[in-house]
Amino acid sequence: MEISVIGCGRWGSFIAWYLNKIGHSVLLYGREGSKHMKQFQETRTNGLVSLPAKITLTTNLEEVMSNDVIIISVDSQGLRGLMNEITRHSPLNKIFVLCMKGLEISTGKRLSEVAAEYVGQNNNIAVWLGPGHVQEFLGGIPNCMVIDSENKEVKEKLIDEFSNELIRFYIGEDLIGNEIGAAAKNVIGIAAGMLDGLKLSSLKGALMSRGTREISRLIKALGGNELSAYGLCHLGDYEATIFSEFSHNRKFGEMHVKGEKFDRLAEGYYTAKALQKMSAEYEVELPICDAVYKVLYEGKPASEVLQNLFLRSLKTEFWS
């Protein structure tokens, strides 16, 4: 397949590397002036991913649109602006694959919903979600991921073309549940990092049990399958998010409670705000997400908020 990848950060560059490795023709796009793209143009590496000469680098969005499959891996809050730019090129019969985990703060919309506003009529949209870290994939450590779409033929085609021994893809059956679960697990990751920073890591078991249950309630309220919270896109991604040294969200939470600066993207920061709005709109109690929101946006002491969270009045275990 001839594939364009938009976004030359950690994940975008890995995706380009991976798809080239399994035999596809790949073009990688970065904005003019992007420090990541400049580094690739000068050295073909960002210190983590080294791109072979067969991968074409470009800062021309029109060139990107010449391919039929376009993978997007950018900051979730920048997706709407990017899609607006893409519509100027009148895409037709393209497959847009969103390889990103988040929710739009201003609207609370899932990212596939945002993309569909711009290209939904004459194109197909899919999502690529699930656990895995670039560092581990590059070290040859395999994992399982999910591709989902409202179009059955599209997701089956992508899974057939993208699977190999490094990444085994599963067919997603619940776009709502998989997107919400994937976005929300980053907020749970921040909570896990806060526990690490407070030396309360033993509470991660309770965090995992309660976190999965509260997100399942939200998925159900939104019209998805609540069991999706227990699949690869949420619970299945906990190991990579709650425990891994490579998790940006976990590290962000840990450094936040220590009063240290974290200068990398942690999507859970934005998702916590979007989930706060959803909680109120759909009248779904999200105590863990609410606790993270209070710490990050209201300046409440993490030690106090998390103690209250885990010592709050008892119900029937975590299931009510």
Query: What would the pLDDT profile of 196-240 be if each residue is shown by its tens digit?
Result: 999 999 999 999 999 999 999 999 999 999 999 999 999 999 999
Give the DSSP letter string of 265-298.
Answer: --THHHHHHHHHHHHHHHT---HHHHHHHHHHHS
Q: What is the pTM of this model?
A: 0.94
Q: Is residue 319 predicted with pLDDT exceeding 60?
A: no
For domain 176-311, say whether CATH 1.10.1040.10 is its number: yes
Rg (CA), the chain: 19
Q: Which residues are catalytic?
A: 185
> CA 138, CA 230: separation in Å to the nearest integer?
27
Read off the tokens for 302: 């993490």
> What percentage of residues in the chain have a pLDDT greater than 70?
97
Quick one: pLDDT band at residue 311, thresholds 50, 70, 90? confident
**Mean pLDDT confidence for 47-56:** 96
Can you give the pLDDT at residue 312? 60
- Which residues partner with 157 through β-bridges? none
- Of 72-86, 251-265, 280-294, 300-314, the range with the lowest mean pLDDT is 300-314
Q: So what's the pLDDT on residue 265?
A: 81
pLDDT tens for residues 251-299? 999 999 999 998 888 899 999 999 999 999 999 999 999 999 999 999 9
Q: What pLDDT, on a 0 to 100 scale, did the predictor assign at position 320? A: 45
Please give the helix or strand (H or E) that residue 149 lies within, else none. strand 143-149
Q: What mean pLDDT comes out for the span 26-55?
A: 96
Q: What percent of the chain has pLDDT over 90?
A: 93
Check residue 115 and give its pLDDT.
98
Extents of the domains making up the chain: 2-171, 176-311
The 3-state DSSP class for residue 236 equals helix
Query: Judging by beta carbons within 10 Å of its beta carbon (0-12, 13-18, 19+), is residue 137 exposed, middle or buried?
Result: middle
Q: What is the pLDDT of residue 307?
A: 86
pLDDT value for 31? 95
Backbone dihedral angles phi then psi of residue 5, each to the nearest 5 degrees: -120, 120
Homologous superfamily (CATH) for 2-171: NAD(P)-binding Rossmann-like Domain (3.40.50.720)
Q: Is it the case that residue 315 has pLDDT exceeding 60?
A: no
